Chain A
Amino acid sequence: MQSNAALEYDYTVAKMFTYVTILFGFLGMLVGTILALQLAFPELNYLIGEYGTFSRLRPVHTNTVIFGFTVSGVFATWYYFAQRVLKVSMAESRFLMILGKAHFWVYFIGALIATITLVFGISAGKEYAQYEWWIDIVIVIIWLMWGVSIFGIIGIRREKVLYVSIWYYLACFLGIAMLYLFNNMSIPTYFMTDGLGSINHSVSMYAGTNDALVQWWYGHNAVAFGFTVPIVGMIYYFLPKESGQAIYSYKLSLLSFWGLMFVYLWAGSHHLLWSTVPDWMQTMGSAFSIVLILPSWGSAINMLLTMKGEWNQLAENPLIKFMVIASTFYMLSTIEGPIQAIKSVNAIAHFTDWIPGHVHDGVLGWVVFMTMAALFHMAPRMWKREIYSKKLMGIQFWMQTTAVVLYFTSMWVAGITQGMMWRAVDEYGNLVYSFIDTVTVLHPYYVIRGVSGVLYLTGFILFAYNMYKTITAGRELTEEPQFKTPMA
C-alpha cells in the first residue's frame, strides 16, 4: 500500500460541508433566538410582515437546524473520518471525488431553496416533514448520493473491519431513508386533476390517526437517527482520537448499537400518549422508552470511561471538555425523555414548554457541542493550521454551557407550572385558571430563555470566528498532530 508515497487523505468535500455546517448553524440558531424572543415580546412578530410571525418561522428554525446544520455536520464528519478509519483516500477514486462534490452542490442549493419555500408557507404541514413533494424528491436524491458515496468508499477500503462509528453512520443513512420515504408519501393534487390549483400542493397518503402514527414514528426516529445515532458515531471516533485513549470497551459499543437499533423505533408512540391511537401502542411506547435508557447510557458511560485515568485532560484541553459535557447532556436528556414518556408524567408535561426544554438540552448540549468539537478537531488537520485561539474556545464553552442550563431550567419550571395550572381545580371541581392566565405567568421564563438564546448564539458566533481565523490566520503546522489538537 505504500506504492504511492504522496498519497494523502483528501478533505475537499469535508471542507465544503464544514463551511455550510457553520452557515446553517448560525442561521438556524439566529431564527431560534428570534422565536424565543417573540414569545417573550410579541411585538417582534412583525419584523418582516407575514413572513416573520412565530408560526411561519418555527419550521424554518427546526428544519434549518435538523436538515441544515446537523445533517451537513454529519456529512462533513463522514467525509473526514470515513477515509481515515477505512484507510483509503477519496483521491484514489475519481468517481467518489466527483460524486462527493456533486452531493455537496445538490445538497447546498436544495437546502437553500427548501428554506425559502418554508418562509413562503409552502408546507405539507407535518412537523419536521414540512417540505412539499417535489423537495422531498430532491432530498431523496441527495440521500441516495450519500448512500452511493458511503458504500463506494467502503467498497475500496483497506481496513477489513468496519469501525463502530461506521456502523452508526450506516444506520443513520438507512434509518432516515426508510423513515423519510414512508412519512412523506403524498399525492400532488395538480396531477390528479386536469392541472387545477397549485403545483406545490399535495395530500398525505395517510389520514387522521394513521397519519399521526406514521408521523411520530418518523418524528421520534428522525431524532433517533439524525440526532443520536450519527452523533454517537462521531464521539466514538473523535473522543478516542483527541484523547489518545482507545474506546473503554469496544464490545460494549457494539452491544449498545444493536440495543439502540432495536429499541428506538418502538418508542415513537410516546408522542401520542392519551391520544386516539390504540392503548397498547401507547403502553408499548412508554415501556420501550424506559428500556431505551439502557443502550443510551451504555454508550454514554462507555464514552466517559474512555477518559479513565486521563481526567487531567479535561482541565487542559477544551475540546475534551466539550465532548465530555456533550456526553453528560446526552445522559441527562436520555433519562429525561423516558421520564416524560411515563403516562402520568406525560399527562402534565405534554403540550407544555417542558418538551422544547427537553429537545434543547439534547440538541444544544449534545448535538451542537459534539459537532462543534468535531469541526474544531478537524480544522487543524484539514487546513494544516493551528487553532487560532484556545482562550476564545474557553469563553465560548462557558457561555454556551450557561445558556443550555438557563434554557432547560427555565423551561422545566415553565412547563410544569403550566401543566399544573391547566388542571388545577377549586374545592367545587371547577377550573381555577382561564387559559390566558397560564400564558401570562410564563413571561419571566420566556425572557430567561430569550437571554439563553442570545448567549448561545453569541457563543456560536465566537466559534465561527475562531474557525474563520484558524483557516485564514492560524499558525501553519508542518506535520499532522497525532492526538491532541494544537491550539494557540
Chain B
Amino acid sequence: MDIQDIQGYGMFFLTIFLTVILYWYIIYLYRSEKKGERDFEKYGRIALDDSIGTPPVEDKIASERENTKEQIK
C-alpha cells in the first residue's frame, strides 16, 4: 500500500468518523433539550445579562460547591 492509498483511506474514514460525531452532537443537542435535561437557549442570555452585578446563568462557584457536597455524600 503506498502513501496515496493511506491518504485515501485516512481521508475516507476520518470524514465518516467526524460526520458521525457531528450528527451525534446534533441529536444530543436537540434530544437533551426535549427531555428537559438541559436548556441551551438560556445560554443566549449570557450576552444580554452581562453586568457584573447580575448572577451568572450557571454559577461556576456554586456548582463546584455542589459537586463537592455530592462527593462527601
Contact = CB atoms under 8 A, between A and B. Distances in A.
A207 B59 CA distance: 52
Contacts of A39: none
B56 A158 contact: yes
A249 B42 CA distance: 10
B22 A160 contact: no
B2 interface: no
B35 interface: no
A304 B18 CA distance: 28
Interface residues of A, number: 38
Interface string B33-55: 10000001101111110111111
Given A246-B45, A249-B41, A160 B30 contact: no
Contacts of A236: 47
Contact of B47 (A157, A247, A258): A247
A319 to B, nearest CB: 15
A9 interface: yes
Contact of A161 (B18, B33, B41, B57): B57
Interface in A240-263: 240-241, 244, 246-247, 249-251, 254-255, 258-259, 262
Given A159-B58, A247-B47, A255-B22, 10 more contacts: A84-B50, A85-B46, A85-B47, A158-B60, A163-B43, A251-B30, A251-B41, A254-B29, A255-B26, A482-B51
List 7 tightest A-B contacts by C-beta distance, closest first.
A246-B44, A84-B50, A160-B60, A160-B58, A159-B56, A163-B46, A247-B44
Contacts of B44: 240, 246-247, 250
Nearest to A240: B47
Interface in A303-331: none
A87 B18 CA distance: 33
Interface hub of B30, B40, B44, B57 (most chain A Cβ within 10 A):
B44
Contacts of B50: 81, 84-85, 87, 241
Contacts of B22: 255, 258-259, 262
A373 to B, nearest CB: 15
Interface of A: 1-2, 7-9, 81, 84-85, 87, 89, 157-161, 163-165, 236-237, 240-241, 244, 246-247, 249-251, 254-255, 258-259, 262, 280, 284, 480, 482-483
Given A159-B58, A251-B33, A246 B25 contact: no
9 contacts: A7-B52, A87-B56, A89-B52, A241-B47, A241-B48, A246-B47, A250-B41, A255-B22, A255-B29
Contacts of B55: 1
Contacts of B48: 240-241, 244, 246, 483
B63 interface: yes
Contacts of A259: 22
Contacts of A7: 52
B52 A87 contact: yes
A159 B60 contact: yes
Contacts of B46: 85, 159, 161, 163
